Amino acid sequence: MDCDTARVLLHGHLDGELDLILDHEVDRHIEQCDRCIAEYAAIRALQTRLKDQSLYFEAPAELKEKTRRAIHRALPRAQASPSIRRSSVRRAVRFAIPMAVAAILALLIVPSAIRPGHNEIVAQEVLASHVRSMMASHLMDVASTDQHTVKPWFNGKLDFSPPVVDFAQDGFPLVGGRLDYIDGRAVAALVYQHGKHVINVFMWPAAPEAAHSAKIETQQGYNLEQIAVAGMNCWIVSDLNPTELAKFGELLRARG
């Protein structure tokens, strides 16, 4: 299956509308294609976003009442003469036109309101890279619990030196690292473990105004947190529960 076919079928795959054979073929293609898995993760994130109740707008009671009164005035009264009915229809049309315009404007404005911002796009890329590393068995380029082995491995491969710390004594041992590609640049991906849970930590330099923290959010069953560590933009992602992930984030922030 090629990318064009897979992308056409992604929505049906996510909605459970494909037969078993096509569904399996899409799954196999996603496992092998970086671009399609990123698009897959983006669509999943958008679906989750669209289900967010905070996006729904409840009209004020005053507006509802004004609308009801306007409709009542526009409706022809029972047994009205033809001339009155024609007048009522004209009033209804005059009322309906602005309402239709408002509806069209809403359709044009709402998509821009829910269009993901830059940080949300980066979060989708981070999540896609995490999932891809687990699916494609490419979790590490260098496998080592020794921070003095992992840190030098990045020398010459990146234009920065990521802070690498082992947290084994706190229950979060370093197990390796790899190169990855996020937000249009090569980044360091440090891999930690907590029990059977894998934690991916993506790092790259950030301008002072761009290095900030964001609360833990859940997407597709994974928890993500953005923090600033030693001048680095740092994204943490894992299926670890939010409490444990927050604990790991604090360790990273304190010793990074």
Task: Write the pLDDT tens digit of every residue in 3-12.
Answer: 878 777 777 7
Task: Summarize the confidence of residues 201-209 as an average pLDDT.
Answer: 80
Task: Please indicate, yes or no, whether residues 86 and 161 belong to a single structural domain of this protein.
Answer: no
Highest mean pLDDT among 13-17, 104-108, 113-117: 13-17
Between 99 and 251, the more confident residue is 251
Nearest to 174 by CA among 146, 197, 141, 202: 146
Q: Are 45 and 52 in contact (CB under 8 A)?
A: no
Identify whether residues 107 and 69 lie together within a single domain.
Answer: yes
110 & 124 share domain: no
Alpha-carbon torsion angle 154, 159, 160, 164, nearest 10? -10
How many residues can be counted in the chain? 256
Q: Which of 67, 86, 114 is the last residue of a domain?
A: 114
Percentage of the chain modeled with pLDDT above 70: 72
Average pLDDT for the chain: 77
| Cα distances (Å, whole numbers) of residue 28 to 24, 25, 40, 126, 127 | 6, 5, 13, 21, 19
* Same domain (yes/no): 129, 102: no
Of the candidates 250, 235, 238, the one whose C-alpha atom is nearest the C-alpha of residue 120 is: 235
Query: Rounded to an integer, what distance in angstroms lies between the CA atom of residue 86 and that of residue 68?
Result: 21
Residue 23 has pLDDT above 90, yes or no: no
Structure tokens at 172: 């979060």
Same domain as 243, residue 124: yes
Residue 15 pLDDT class (50, 70, 90 cuts): confident
Mean pLDDT, rounded, for 166-194: 92
Range of the domain at 89: 57-114
Residues 133 and 64 in one domain: no
Whether residue 34 contacts residue 132, with contact meaning beta carbons closer than 8 Å, is answered with: yes
| The predicted structure's pLDDT at residue 218 | 74
Count the domains in the chain. 3
The whole-number pLDDT of residue 78 equals 42
Per-residue confidence (pLDDT) for residue 3, from 0 to 100:
81
Range of lowest pLDDT (20-29, 99-108, 206-215, 221-230): 99-108
Could you tell me if 181 and 69 lie in one domain? Answer: no
Q: Are the C-beta atoms of 177 and 164 separated by less than 8 Å?
A: yes
Domain limit, last residue, from 114, 136, 159: 114
Would you say residue 178 has pLDDT above 80? yes
pLDDT at 167: 94
User: What pLDDT is stored for residue 53 in this prediction?
Assistant: 54
- Alpha-helical (H) ranges within the chain are 3-14, 20-32, 34-50, 61-74, 82-114, 118-135, 147-153, 242-255
pLDDT tens, 29-46? 888 887 788 777 877 777
Whether 157 and 106 map to the same domain: the answer is: no
Q: How confident is the model at residue 82 (pLDDT cuts 50, 70, 90)?
A: low
Give the model's confidence band at 235: pLDDT under 50 very low, under 70 low, under 90 confident, else very high: very high
Q: Are residues 106 and 204 in the same domain?
A: no
Instruction: Please determine, for residue 66, whether its predicted confidence score (pLDDT) is greater than 90.
Output: no
Domain boundary among the residues 114, 130, 157 is at 114
Q: How many CB atoms lie within 10 A of CB 25?
A: 16
pLDDT exceeds cutoff 90 at 72: no
SS3 call for 180 = strand
Same domain, 47 and 71: no
